[in-house]
């Protein structure tokens, strides 16, 4: 199921080339997308740099750049630029879906919901909407399974999420930096409709006030944009 969802998400963007819409002003990145899917990301990065110099501001190339960006927050910024600046791009709905996936991965349900609502309103014919229904069904099943497990009380209610990366290497680097500074750190994977995020969380806290003290220091010392989230039971 997850593998099929992943394949759909990646290749759904390619379907736009077989519609009646014309986007001749955008660079054709289909062959490069296929190379990314084949695991040839380094080769694509080498090809992308000169292309972006020759075609500055091209939304398709910006989408490819975002796809290759390993830091989740930085990639989100690039996707957001496509959605806000190039809403008619063939990849605008794909960019919005990936922003939704990012916010879902970091547990920001309010922002994820806003992205989902925007996708439904602005791109009602998007190929990604059926996948969201599948994702919703999977999530509901997970909630049912969690409800079936006896609740174990704990004095710890919150943790600090300090990063979400598509690159495991970057996530492990941040984890090691924090460990060296004496913090308790956990690294976990979160699958959002086939997109894997490596999530780094720091500490366990009984209340928001306790977490906020550490959050302020960690954000300042490591130049992060961490946030307090409920601790998974």
Largest CA distance in the chain: 59
Q: What is the CATH number of the domain that holds 224?
A: 3.30.70.1070
Strand blocks (E) in the chain: 158-165, 185-192, 195-205, 227-230
- H/E stretch holding 109 reads helix 109-122
DSSP type of residue 72: H
- Alpha carbon 207 to its chain centroid, in Å, reads 27
Highest mean pLDDT among 96-100, 129-133, 166-170: 96-100
Q: Are residues 126 and 162 in the same domain?
A: no
Q: Are residues 128 and 64 in the same domain?
A: yes
Q: Pick from 110, 138, 166: which residue ends a domain?
A: 138
Q: How confident is the model at residue 216 (pLDDT cuts 50, 70, 90)?
A: confident
Q: How confident is the model at residue 58 (pLDDT cuts 50, 70, 90)?
A: very high
pTM tops 0.75 = no
Q: Are residues 124 and 163 in the same domain?
A: no
Average pLDDT (81-100) is 93
Helix (H), strand (E), coil (C) string for 161-216: EEEEECCHHHHHHHHHHHHHCCCCEEEEEEEECCEEEEEEEEEEECCHHHHHHHHH
pLDDT of residue 138: 53
């Amino acid at each position: 199921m997850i593998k099929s969802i992943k394949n759909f998400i990646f290749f759904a963007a390619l379907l736009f080339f077989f519609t009646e819409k014309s986007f001749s002003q955008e660079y054709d990145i289909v062959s490069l997308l296929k190379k990314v899917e084949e695991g040839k990301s380094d080769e694509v990065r080498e090809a992308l740099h000169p292309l972006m110099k020759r075609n500055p501001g091209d939304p398709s190339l910006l989408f490819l750049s975002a796809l290759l960006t390993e830091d989740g927050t930085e990639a989100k910024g690039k996707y957001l630029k496509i959605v806000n600046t190039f809403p008619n791009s063939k990849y605008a709905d794909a960019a919005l879906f990936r922003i939704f996936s990012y916010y879902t991965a970091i547990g920001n349900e309010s922002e994820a919901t806003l992205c989902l609502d925007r996708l439904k309103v602005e791109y009602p014919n998007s190929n990604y909407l059926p996948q969201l229904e599948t994702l919703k069904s999977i999530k509901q099943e997970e909630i049912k399974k969690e409800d079936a497990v006896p609740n174990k009380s704990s004095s710890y209610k919150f943790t600090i999420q300090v990063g979400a990366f598509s690159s495991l290497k970057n996530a492990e680097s941040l984890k090691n930096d924090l460990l060296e500074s004496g913090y308790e750190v956990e690294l976990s994977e979160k699958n959002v409709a086939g997109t894997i995020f490596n999530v780094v969380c720091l500490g366990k806290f009984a209340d928001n006030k306790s977490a906020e003290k550490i959050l302020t220091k960690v954000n300042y010392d490591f130049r992060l944009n961490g946030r307090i989230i409920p601790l998974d039971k």
